[in-house]
Structure 1
C-alpha cells in the first residue's frame, strides 16, 4: 500500500481530530439536553426539544461520526498504524463500529420516531410509553457513548497495548 506523505498525514489528522471532537461534543450535548426538557410545559416546547435533538443527532453527530470513521479508515490503510497492529487502535475500531452500527440501525430510527410522536401528540407525548422508554434509552446511550468516546480519546493520547503480539 502506498503511504501518505507527512503533510497529507497532518491534514488527515486535523480532519480526524476535528470530526472526532465534534462527534464527542454532540454526544455530550445529547446527554445533557434532557436537563432542558425538565421545564417543558407545552406541546410546542416538547416538539422543538425533539426537533433540536433530532437535528443534532442527524445533521451534526452522524456526519461527524462518518468522517471520523472514514479518516480512521484512510489512516489504517495508508500509514504505518494499520488496523490491528496496536491494541488501542483495535479498541477504537470496535467502539467506532459499535456506536455507528447501533446509531444507524437502532438509535437514529428511534430518535426519528420520538420526533414524530412529539409532533403528533405534543405534550401528551410525555405520557406515551414508547416516548418515555425512548427518552430513557436515548439518555442511557448518550452516557455510555460519551464514556466510550472519552476512553477512545484517552487511548489515542496514551496509546496503551502497543504492538499486539501475533
Structure 2
C-alpha cells in the first residue's frame, strides 16, 4: 500500500491543487472575455493582437494549470484515504477533468492556432472569413463549457455526492 501523506503534506498538496484550479479557471475566463471581444472588434490590428494574447494565455497558462490540476488531483487521491476509485464523485471528477483537457488539446488549441493565423494574415477581413468566425465561436463556447464544468467540479468537491462505491468481495 502506498504511503499516505501527513496532514501537513496533504494541506500543501491541496493548496497547490487549488492554485492550479484557480489558474485554469482564470485562464478560461480570460479566453471567454477575449474571445467575445475578438468577435466584436473592428480594427484589424486589435483583432490580430487579441488572438495573439489568447494564444499566450493558452500556451503559458491553460495547458500547465490543467495538467497541474490533473496531476495534483491524482496525487491527492492516491496519497490520501480518498483513493482513485473508492468514491463515485472522484471518478466523475477524473473523467470530466480528462475530458476538459482533451477538449483543450484536440479542439480549442487547434481552433485557436487556425484563428491566430487567419487574424494575422487577414486582419479585420478575418471577420468575414467563415472558418475564422466558426473557430472563434467554438473558442467562446469551449471557454464557457470549461468554466461551467469547473464550477460543477467545485460543487462536486464540496458536496461529495453519490457516496462510496461498494467494495467487491475478494474470492479466495
Q: TM-score, normalised by structure 2?
A: 0.90
- Residues 126, 132 of structure 2: 8 Å contact kept: yes
- Asked if residue 22 in structure 1 is aligned to residue 23 in structure 2, the reply is yes
User: Structure 1 residue 28: deviation in Å?
Assistant: 2.1
* Cα deviation 1:95-120 (Å, max 9, x = unaligned): 11001112112211221111111111
Q: Would you say 1:111 and 2:84 are equivalent positions?
A: no
Which is worse superposed, 95-104 or 22-31? 22-31
Structure 1 segments of 4+ aligned residues over 2 angstroms from their partners: 32-39
Root mean square deviation of aligned Cα: 1.4
CA distance in 2, matches of 1:107, 1:35: 15
Partner of 1:87: 88
Aligned length: 166
Paired residue secondary structure (2:110):
helix
Cα drift, residue 36 of structure 1: 2.3
TM-superposed CA distance for 1:39, in Å, is 4.7
Counterpart Cα distance in 2 of 1:137 and 1:38: 11
Q: Computing the radius of gyration over CA atoms, which structure comes out larger, 1 or 2?
A: 2
Distance in 2 between residues matched to 1:105 and 1:126, nearest whole Å: 23
Partner of 1:12: 13
Unpaired segments ≥5 residues, structure 2: 168-172
Structure 1 length-normalised TM: 0.93
1:74 and 2:75 are equivalent in the alignment: yes
Gaps in structure 1 of 5+ consecutive residues: none
Which deviates the most, 25-34 or 43-52?
25-34
Distance 1:39 1:153 in 2: 31
Moved more, 19-28 or 6-15: 19-28
CA distance in 1, matches of 2:137, 2:95: 24
Does structure 1 conserve the Cα–Cα contact (< 8 Å) formed by 2:25 and 2:150? yes
